[in-house]
Structures are given as structure tokens and as C-alpha cells.
Structure 1
Amino acid sequence: MAGQGSTAAQRGLTEQDVAAVREETSSGRTVTVWFTPAAVGVPAGGSAKVLAVGDLAEGDFIQVRPAGSRDALFCSPGELTRSRPARGSAKSRQPAETATDHTEAPPAAAVRPVRARRAAPPAEPASATPATGRPAPEEKVVASPAPAQPSKPAPARPRRRNERSGALTVSLTSTGEGDWKVEVLVGTRRVVPATPIQAADVAVVSRALPPAVAEVITTALAEARRRQEERVAHLREELDAAQRTLEQLGVD
């Protein structure tokens, strides 16, 4: 009977686990998870680091990087667990899976070719026997060619978790203070959350875009610069006033 740790590893992440992983990842902490047998294209029991947890409540919205790999995969909660599997659990399943593969088809030696025997002609009357008294030649047995053994179908290609489909959407957003962020969606899935970028980088990118788009971005950058200049001027006035007050309070 399997222990409680094995049962937890089979169960996958609960809603409470997903909420905890999202909070820890957002705070910058490193979260380690393990793949359950439900994971596709990766060995069960392998570990991975959580990169991000999307806002979706269903489907593959947890982004992880398997140990020893540079690829990022998207998994569902049922494919991951926070319970470390028992040692050797991943290796112990491999011999069983290999044995199962060998028992799918019977060995080639068990398939015997079918030999077809041609029907003998009807017996002739005694009067038809040649006068020489020699016995009639025996009918030869002709073996038909053995039917070709059907080839074993190729195994289905495992689905790779990092294959993405859908329209790619890159969004740039800015605030009145001149702060810019970029966000990337594949279909309805957020693959890159809102990430801050420098206004100078936005200005460089806008030069490679169509003139209408570049004009909108340039206008937004100019307006943000104007507001910051006004703020700087106001702060300087306050600083000068504070400096004069400080000089008046000086003691000779």
C-alpha cells in the first residue's frame, strides 16, 4: 500500500496550493514543484521551478522550467505537485513501462506462414491408367508466399508543453507619469505578464513602427516629458523657498 506522500504526489495542486504558489512566485521566492504521472511529455517525479502563475482558473496556466532544461512549459494544476516523490519512484516505473511495450505485439517467431495446398485432380477410371504400368506422378505442393507482417505503427509523438498556438498580441501601456509596461498574449493566454520597460527603449522601438503608430507613441512620450518638466520646476520653487527660509533662520 502506497504511503501518504505517494498519494499526495498523485493528487496534483489544489486551489489552495495554486494560490500559495502564485503568492510566493509574485514575492520573488523560488518555488519547486514535481511532475505527476498526469504530466505529458516529461518524466513523472521530475522537478521544476515555477516561473509564473497566470490568472486563468483552468487549462495550462502555470509556467515552469524543468530541472536541467532551458525550455519553459505550461502545465495544469493536475500535472504538478508540491510533495517531493519518494526516491526511485520515477525510475521504478520505467522497467514496467518497457515491459509493457514488449508485450504489445507477439514475437515474430510466433507468426507462421500459411501454406496453401493445391487441390488434387479427380481420380481417373482404371481404364485410363497408362499401359506402361507406371504410377501417375504425385501432385506437387506449392507454398504461397507468406503474407507480409504488418508493421508496428509508429508511437505517437508526445505533445510538447512549450508548443504554442494562437494569435500573438504584444501590448504597450503607459501612465501619465511616463511609466511604460509591455505584455504578451498567445491567444487568450498571458505568457509574459505586464513588465516595466524604459521610456527610452519605447522611443527606439517606435522608430521601426509605421508612421501612424510612431506618431502616437512620440506624442505620449512628449506629453509625459512636459509633465515631468513642470513637476521639476515646481519642486525647484519649493526648494528655493525652503532654502531662503533656512537662511533667515540662521544664527550669527
Structure 2
Amino acid sequence: MSSPSTKSASRRSAPPVLTEAELARIADELADGKPPMVWFTAAAVGVAEGKSGKVVALDDPSAGDFLQVRPTGSKDVLSFGPSEVTLTKPARGTTVAPGGSARTRPESAPAPSNRKDNTVTQPSTLPSTPAPAPASLAPVADDTKPAPATPRPAKAPAVRKAKVAEVTVTLTGTTDGEWTVDVVNGKKRSVKGLAVSSAAVAQTAKILHPEVEEVVAGILEAARGAQQAKVAQLQAELEAARKLLEELGD
């Protein structure tokens, strides 16, 4: 059993959450083209505690989860906050607690003994009356034996329902014909502001549902009209500029 002083020393030696200096160090290494290695703490959602990954980009800190990290062995880039990763590699046999602190895995306690004391106490004196002699030496059948107990059927193990992560896909369009998509996997924003073409949006809307196709078609039609009006305006300005140039040439 560890003493209070040992526990206090363990807390003092535990690595803190990412500080401003560590974030600046990560930014410098990214600028040099060297993605730094980090390890996930227990606060990380969707990634095993103690697993490693590489920081590939830093977003605006006001977004909350602004560290873009690619876990080891994965091709996906996920967003994490400064309390979910640490620059300190956890030692073997330890796990990383929230905030980056290391803790030792507890050893399993020995199972309690279920054996009972089977000591038999004999009487201090023997009975004074002798046992009566048997009337017959022939064996007598014992009909008083209890019937064997019927074994109870074993209970079926409880089935745990698997937790399914929720995925939210948001498609955003403007009257200028610009489209972006955002994907949130559970609590993590996996994709943020990814630009997609109008043709891809129209094709996807046809596959999803007629109502979705109708809404997207209306937005595309409005964007088409706005672009046609812009082209007409630019053509008129170009024609006026050519006319003025001809007048200046004379």
C-alpha cells in the first residue's frame, strides 16, 4: 500500500494539460513540417486512453476542439481539445488520466476464501446405554433417501446493447452557388467547411429523397439566375468600356 507522501509525489510528477508554451512548440514543429506526436488522455472521446497520434494542424482556439489529430493506424483526422491530449508519453503499466496525469493500474486483490471450517467436535462422554442389537443380519433397504434435486437451468447472459455514435452531416448553400459540408461524429467535428461542387450536391439530392431534390433544385435555380444576372451586368459594363475606348481612340 502506498503512503500519502508517495501519492502526493505521483501527483506532482504527473504531466499537466497542454500549456501555452507546449501549444507554441506544436505550432513551431508544424511550421517546420514535423507533425508532433501526442498521447490521448482519459478525457478523449472515441479514442482509447494512452493511444498515440500526430497533430497535423491547429485551428482557431475559439473553436474549442482546435487540435487536428490523426490517431496512429488511422487515416481519419479528428478534432480534440487541449485537455484530451498530452505531449508526455505514458509509461508501461500506466494509463493517462484526464488532464494528462498518469496513474498506475491497480493490482487485482486475492479472491476471498470460501472454505468453511469442517472440524467435528466429539462428545466428551460416551452414552451409558448400549445400542440394541440388530434383529436380523440381513441388509434392509433404505426407503427414506430423499429424491435427487432437479438442477436449476442456468440464466442466459445479459446482452449489452452496443452504443452507436451519432453522425450529423450539415450541407450549406448560398445564392452564389457555393456549397460546404460539415460532419460531426458524436461530439467531434470530423469535417469542417469542406467545399463541394453544385453538380455533386444536385446528384446527391436526387439519390436521397424527392423532397430534398426539390429544395436543392430551387436553391440551384436561384443561384443560376443570380449568376446569369451577374454575367449580363458584366457584359453591359464591358460593352460600355469598349464604346468609351473607341471614343478615346478617335
The TM-score range, normalised by the shorter chain, is: 0.5 to 0.7
Aligned to 2:183: 184
Aligned to 1:3: none
1:16 shift after superposition: 7.8
- CA distance in 1 between counterparts of 2:13 and 2:223 reads 53
Q: Is the 8 A contact 1:206 1:213 kept in 2?
A: yes
Aligned to 1:153: none
Aligned to 1:105: 109
Partner secondary structure for residue 184 of structure 2: strand
Cα separation, partners in 2 of 1:240 and 1:211, compared to 1, 3 Å: same
Partner secondary structure for residue 10 of structure 1: coil
- CA distance in 2 between counterparts of 1:164 and 1:63 reads 23
1:206 shift after superposition: 1.6
Per-residue displacement from partner, 1:132-187 (whole Å, max 9, x unpaired)? xxxxxxxxxxxxxxxxxxxxxxxxxxxxxxx8744x43222222211111123356
- CA distance in 1 between counterparts of 2:205 and 2:175 reads 18
Q: Is the 8 A contact 1:51 1:65 kept in 2?
A: no
Aligned with residue 48 of structure 1, among 54, 61, 74 = 54
Partner secondary structure for residue 68 of structure 1: coil
Aligned to 2:126: 124
| TM-score with structure 1 setting the length | 0.55
Corresponding letter in the other structure for 2:36: T
- CA distance in 2 between counterparts of 1:47 and 1:250 reads 66
Q: Is the 8 A contact 1:30 1:49 kept in 2?
A: no
1:211 aligns with 2:217: no
Aligned to 1:32: 36
Cα separation, partners in 2 of 1:173 and 1:229, compared to 1, 3 Å: same
Aligned to 1:222: 221
1:78 shift after superposition: 2.1
Aligned with residue 78 of structure 1, among 72, 76, 83 = 83
- CA distance in 2 between counterparts of 1:204 and 1:231 reads 25
Q: Is the 8 A contact 2:79 2:188 kept in 1?
A: no
Aligned to 1:172: 171
Structure 2 unaligned regions, length at least 5: 1-11, 96-103, 133-162
Aligned to 2:92: 94
- CA distance in 1 between counterparts of 2:188 and 2:241 reads 52
Per-residue displacement from partner, 1:192-250 (whole Å, max 9, x unpaired)? 21221100111111212333332221111112112212222332333344445556666
1:9 shift after superposition: 8.0
Q: Is the 8 A contact 1:48 1:67 kept in 2?
A: yes
Give the paired residue count.
195
Corresponding letter in the other structure for 1:120: Q
Partner secondary structure for residue 172 of structure 1: strand
Corresponding letter in the other structure for 1:49: V
Q: Is the 8 A contact 1:171 1:183 kept in 2?
A: yes
Cα separation, partners in 2 of 1:18 and 1:169, compared to 1, 3 Å: farther
Structure in which a larger fraction of residues adopt helix: 1
Cα separation, partners in 2 of 1:224 and 1:47, compared to 1, 3 Å: closer
Aligned with residue 69 of structure 1, among 63, 74, 97 = 74
Structure 1 unaligned regions, length at least 5: 1-6, 131-162
1:233 aligns with 2:238: no
- CA distance in 1 between counterparts of 2:105 and 2:201 reads 55
- CA distance in 1 between counterparts of 2:53 and 2:13 reads 15
